[in-house]
């Protein structure tokens, strides 16, 4: 099994950072050195490094495209953006905004949607597809449905055949790109936002986009399902650095708790001797239990962010040793209707291909 794909991305200096010293010395497209003012140097190598001049399209092509293609073939995949607030996670995921059409600014999510519908449309009469979209966030260790805010504490269950399931979550059947963007946009508008000194529109939640791609073969009605999960994590900075107090400080601590649970899962997965992987320690790690496929470590290029960048990149360096745990979606040789009935009565007939 392949290792998970881990990449690093440095966003360009933003306006208020103009003229600030930088902390990266490029080696090549996979390695670089992070340097602080005392010339402390840390070498990093990843599957790919996207420097300040990288294009949104490059990131999509390398990191996401193969995983989107896999989802169409019923292989689950997860793409995560990690890094401190202001490092470019949301810009990578959503683009300048979700409706952006300028190719330089268009993010990963709208490209995913384009590719999914392109794949569907190119398969002709051989198969029928259904794509469902859910958008949730984990805020203060509760899963909130961003497509129906009345569902503010979604429970997570593990199904023998389907893997991790969000009970009662809104799943919108999307039939074209425009519809998908409309629902993504309303989900995003419902995210919980708090103000910190680091970024006054910073989101303090982990935002999770789930595309379920169901394919039914015309020939034999065989149904297979692939789940594609994109995760825009909340900022990984230390709680005290946010200058937060009261409720906002509590938020920051909770965020750090779920991110450290993710760190613990990564440590357990890479230690080689762990017989217990602590997926159950947080909502975030439970949702990621199905598949851990790609991680993008987002960093600011500025020297003043050296220590946060170092910790982000160290996190990525550890994750590089994980074997990708993407699992083949469930398959069953019968019509979907029958399958639903069977599923609700018992799931003995389901066959999971590992």
Note the residues at the interface with ligand ADP (CB under 6 A). Answer: 11-12, 14, 83, 85-91, 199, 202, 235, 298
The tokens of 238 are what?
């230390």
Q: Segment 230-289, which members bind Mg ion (CB under 5 A)? A: none
Q: Taking CB within 5 to 8 Å according to partner kind, which of ligand ADP, Mg ion, none is near residue 309? A: none
Q: Taking CB within 5 to 8 Å according to partner kind, which of ligand ADP, Mg ion, none is near residue 46? A: none
Q: Which is nearer to Mg ion, 203 or 293 (CB)?
A: 203
Task: State the DSSP H helix or E strand holding residue 159, giving kind and residue range, or none if neither.
Answer: strand 156-159
CB 173 within 8 A of CB 132: yes
Q: Taking CB within 5 to 8 Å according to partner kind, which of ligand ADP, Mg ion, none is near residue 11? A: ligand ADP
Q: Segment 87-106, which members bind Mg ion (CB under 5 A)? A: 89-90
Phi then psi dihedrals of residue 148, to 5 deg: -160, 95
Shortest reach from residue 113's CB to Mg ion, in Å: 19
- SS3 state at 195: coil
Q: Which long-range contacts (CB under 8 A, 24 or more apart) does 275-282 make?
A: 282/141, 282/257, 282/258
Q: Which is nearer to ligand ADP, 194 or 235 (CB)?
A: 235
Q: Is 177 exposed, middle or buried (0-12, 13-18, 19+ CB in 10 A)?
A: middle
Q: Taking CB within 5 to 8 Å according to partner kind, which of ligand ADP, Mg ion, none is near residue 83? A: ligand ADP
Under the binding rule (CB under 5 A), the answer on residue 196 touching Mg ion is: no
Q: Which is nearer to ligand ADP, 90 or 242 (CB)?
A: 90
Q: Taking CB within 5 to 8 Å according to partner kind, which of ligand ADP, Mg ion, none is near residue 226? A: none
Q: Which is nearer to ligand ADP, 51 or 129 (CB)?
A: 51
What distance in Å separates the CA atoms of residue 213 and residue 128, rounded to the nearest whole number?
Answer: 10
CB 148 within 8 A of CB 137: no
Closest CA to 136 of 231, 211, 207, 227: 207
Shortest reach from residue 69's CB to ligand ADP, in Å: 24
Contacting residues toward Mg ion, per CB under 5 A: 89-90, 203
């Amino acid at each position: 099994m392949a290792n998970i794909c881990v990449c690093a991305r440095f966003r360009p200096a933003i306006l208020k950072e103009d003229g600030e010293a930088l902390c990266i010395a490029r080696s090549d497209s996979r390695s670089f050195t992070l340097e602080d003012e005392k010339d402390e140097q840390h070498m990093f190598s990843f599957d790919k490094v996207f420097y300040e001049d990288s294009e949104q399209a490059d990131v999509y092509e390398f990191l996401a495209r193969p995983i989107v293609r896999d989802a169409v073939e019923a292989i689950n995949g997860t793409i995560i953006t990690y890094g401190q607030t202001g490092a470019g996670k949301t810009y990578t995921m959503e683009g300048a905004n979700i409706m952006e059409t300028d190719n330089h600014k268009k993010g990963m999510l709208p490209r995913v949607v384009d590719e999914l519908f392109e794949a569907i449309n190119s398969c002709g009469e051989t198969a029928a597809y259904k794509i469902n979209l859910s958008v949730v966030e984990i805020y203060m260790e509760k899963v909130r449905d961003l497509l129906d805010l009345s569902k503010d504490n979604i429970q997570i269950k593990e199904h023998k055949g389907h893997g991790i399931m969000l009970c009662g979550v809104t799943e919108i059947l999307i039939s074209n790109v425009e519809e998908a963007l409309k629902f993504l946009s309303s989900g995003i508008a419902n995210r919980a936002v708090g103000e910190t000194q680091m970024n006054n529109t910073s989101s303090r939640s982990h935002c999770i986009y789930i595309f379920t791609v169901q394919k039914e073969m015309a020939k034999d009605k065989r149904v297979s399902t692939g789940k594609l999960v994109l995760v825009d994590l909340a900022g990984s900075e230390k709680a005290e650095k946010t200058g937060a107090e009261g409720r906002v400080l509590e938020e920051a601590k909770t965020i750090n708790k779920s991110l450290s649970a993710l760190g613990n899962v990564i440590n357990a997965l890479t230690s080689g001797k762990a017989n217990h992987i602590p997926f159950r320690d947080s909502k975030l790690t439970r949702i990621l239990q199905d598949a851990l496929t790609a991680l993008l470590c987002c960093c600011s290029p500025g020297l003043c962010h050296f220590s946060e960048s170092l910790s982000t990149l160290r996190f990525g360096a550890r994750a590089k040793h994980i074997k990708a745990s993407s699992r083949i979606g469930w398959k069953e040789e019968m019509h979907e209707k029958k399958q639903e009935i069977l599923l609700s009565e018992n799931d003995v007939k389901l066959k999971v291909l590992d």
